Every structure is written in structure tokens, then in C-alpha cells.
Amino acid sequence: MLSMIPRMPKAPKKDYAYRSKWKHKFSRARNLARRGGLTKKEMLIKYGRFPKKNEWWGEDGSYTKWKEKWIANNPK
């Protein structure tokens, strides 16, 4: 009876190769810099909320300054 039930193939292993791409590293670094270098838990303790849409808590003062500096240090 069990042999009549079709077997489901195993799901393919998840591919994490995207994590080594420049675009992904940039995105993660931007998120961290936007929060002023704090992890999500640290940020919620310090500020009690996430940054709003155009709010920047980073040391550089603005996204454009941070972006220029980060790209200079991390070329594609």
C-alpha cells in the first residue's frame, strides 16, 4: 500500500552564493550604517524604533557621504 504513494523529491539545498556578491554586501553595510552601526536589538534599546524612510543615524551624516566613502573602500 505504501509503495503506491508517490515519493516527493527532496527540495534542493538553498543557494547562499548571493551573500558574497557586492550588491548584497553593500545593502547589508548600508542597513548597518543607517542604524548608526547598531544591531537591531541595540538600536531598539537606544532609540526604541527603526529609522524612518529618509532618516540617517550613521556617523557620516548622510547616505551620499557614506556611499562615496564605502564604494571607495570596497570597489566592485
Domain ranges of the chain: 22-76
Cα distance between residue 28 and residue 59, in whole Å: 16
Instruction: Please provide the DSSP assignment of 7-35 as one string.
Output: PPPPPPPP--GGGGSHHHHHHHHHHHHHT
1-32: pLDDT as tens digits = 556 666 777 877 888 888 889 999 999 999 99
Which residues contact residue 66 at a Cβ distance below 8 angstroms, ignoring those fewer than 6 apart?
Answer: 30, 33, 56, 58, 60
Which residue do the cell numbers 539545498 mark? 13
Distance of CA 34 to the CA centre of its chain: 11
Model-level pTM? 0.72
